[in-house]
Amino acid sequence: MQDQNVSVHIQNVAHSFGVEGHAKHVRALLDTTMDIHRGELLALIGPSGCGKSTLLNVIGGILSPTTGTASVNGKPVNGPMPHDIAYVFQENALFPWNTIIENIRLGMLFQGVPKSDHEGRARAALKAVGLSEFADHYPGQLSGGMRQRAALARALSLDTPVVLMDEPFGALDEQTRMVLGEDLSELLSRTGKTIIFVTHSLGEAVFLADRIAVFTARPGRIKEVIHVEEPHPRKASFMTSDKFNGLRNRLFDLLHDEIRKTVNLGSGSTGGF
């Protein structure tokens, strides 16, 4: 019954934290249904606490939704699916006690890749992100941007059809993000993977995504889906085009009201300001 072209299917997923009726009960995500196509880059953007990371973690099998189901390549998600989904987390989730290449090899060991393949695939992934020279460095010896590249290399080496990224560049400075974004567009257009990523950056969403799902303030639901019809790989010149700015402004308008709601809510509840 499912379309062959659908990579990730989200059916009526909703999630609440805490027990209903309890003071700490929070409805994080309202009923959400969506299809993500093979090879598509989908950006999730919205105010803080709108449930975009919640949705990502439901797809990744890290979180069981209160209601609804997610399926990846036709298989229902009941927990981590290491052969279908690789994660790139916001802060670097590399093990600080291992070198970069050891980190990548460990990922493959966890996933169950035969040992004989580890070295070759790890080197290839490092080369793809331009970190070949830093294979034997520890994460603590690299800059934040390099660490995120390494985390991306680890995800790529797992050779999964789907990659989930939770604000992968969130902790980096604007300039580094721009360069990494360009590289990512180039890299991902070659691999043909399905990518879902959470971001706070309007520019990043427009620059990288094929579609952008804009969330409302909490309790979050998808307010609108914007299509960015621009082939990959995208060049830096796209960032200065009218099309880019038009889409970015549209995104800003959509988000502005929602963010205003969260901010007002926040200051209302603290009351002191």
Beta strands in the chain (DSSP E): 6-17, 26-37, 41-45, 67-72, 75-76, 85-88, 162-166, 194-199, 211-215, 222-227
Cβ atoms 32, 222 nearer than 8 A: yes
Q: Give 133's DSSP letter.
A: G
**Checking phi first, is residue 148 left (phi over 0); if not, alpha (psi -120 to 50) or beta?**
alpha
65 binds another protein (CB under 8 A): no
Sheet holding 6-17, edge to edge: 26-37, 6-17, 67-72, 75-76
Question: Closer CB to another protein, residue 146 or residue 153?
Answer: 146
120 binds another protein (CB under 8 A): no
Question: Closer CB to another protein, residue 80 or residue 120?
Answer: 80
211 binds another protein (CB under 8 A): no
Question: Closer CB to another protein, residue 82 or residue 170?
Answer: 82
Cβ atoms 49, 38 nearer than 8 A: no
Question: Closer CB to another protein, residue 159 or residue 230?
Answer: 159
Segment near another protein (CB under 8 A), from 15-23, 30-38, 90-98, 258-266? Answer: 90-98
Segment near another protein (CB under 8 A), from 36-44, 69-77, 86-94, 194-202? Answer: 86-94
Q: Give 83's DSSP letter.
A: T
132 binds another protein (CB under 8 A): no
Q: Which amino acid is at 62?
A: I
Cβ at position 81, least distance to another protein in Å? 8
Segment near another protein (CB under 8 A), from 30-38, 44-52, 82-90, 211-219? Answer: 82-90
Q: Which of 11, 17, 71, 106 binds another protein (CB under 8 A)?
A: 106
The torsion angles phi and psi of 207, rounded to 5 degrees, stand at -70, -40
Question: Closer CB to another protein, residue 115 or residue 271?
Answer: 115
User: How many Cα atoms occupy the beta-carbon half-sphere of 216 within 13 Å?
Assistant: 13
62 binds another protein (CB under 8 A): yes
Q: Which of 46, 49, 51, 61 binds another protein (CB under 8 A)?
A: 61
Question: Closer CB to another protein, residue 57 or residue 216?
Answer: 57
141 binds another protein (CB under 8 A): yes
Question: What part of residues 178-207 is at the interface with another protein (CB under 8 A)?
Answer: 179
The tokens 């093979």 sit on which residue?
38
**Residue 273, both tokens:** 């300001």
